[in-house]
Amino acid sequence: MATYRFTVDGKRVSVDAQPEMPLLYALRDDLGLNNPHFGCGLAQCGACTVHLDGEPVRSCVLPVSAAANKKVTTIAGLGTPDKPHPLQAAYVAEGVPQCGYCINGWVMTAAAALKKNPKASDAEMRDALAGLKCRCGTHVAIMRAIKRAQNEMV
């Protein structure tokens, strides 16, 4: 057991844990966050995606020790209800959410991709989003929301 200190959504936190414990468990169980979600536990669905120093990672398989002294951003840290991130606003405007379980992975992955390449083509964006799962089948609406946000960000 060790103490790991890192920043989550701008707030300095510490967690006492085994080094191999998934970051997801620290975020949800120790810090009481509602997002990211536990989906598959195998880094295959994306529901657990967070940014680690700006890069999207699957927190269900990332050891908490890898977050030590780093910056973790969850979907709650992208924007606020008063000033949402353009992707968050676009998801609402396009009526994307069905069950909402997967949104975390899609928004966090798209936000990182657009930060790296604000003018990403549809094909480049699909490549960036490869591997994410939405069981409700809202992929067309998701792409429409990403395009809307992209147009607002440029």
Query: Domain 79-153 classified CATH 3.30.70.100?
Result: no
User: In this predicted structure, what is the pLDDT of residue 151?
Assistant: 93
pLDDT tens, N- to C-terminus, the chain (154 residues): 999 999 999 999 999 999 999 999 999 999 999 999 999 999 999 999 999 999 999 999 999 999 999 999 999 999 999 999 999 999 999 999 888 889 999 999 999 999 999 999 999 999 999 999 988 889 999 999 999 999 998 7
The Cβ-side half-sphere exposure at 67, using a 13 Å CA radius, reads: 39
Cβ atoms within 10 Å of 110's Cβ, excluding its own: 26
User: In this predicted structure, what is the pLDDT of residue 128?
Assistant: 96
Task: Give the domain ranges of the chain.
Answer: 2-77, 79-153
Query: Looking at domain 2-77, which CATH architecture does it have?
Result: Roll (3.10)
The Cβ-side half-sphere exposure at 135, using a 13 Å CA radius, reads: 10
User: In this predicted structure, what is the pLDDT of residue 149?
Assistant: 97
Quote the tokens at residue 4: 């790991």
User: How many angstroms from the chain centroid is the CA of residue 82?
Assistant: 19
User: In this predicted structure, what is the pLDDT of residue 51?
Assistant: 98
- Look at residues 82, 73, 81 and name the one whose alpha carbon lies nearest to residue 35: 73
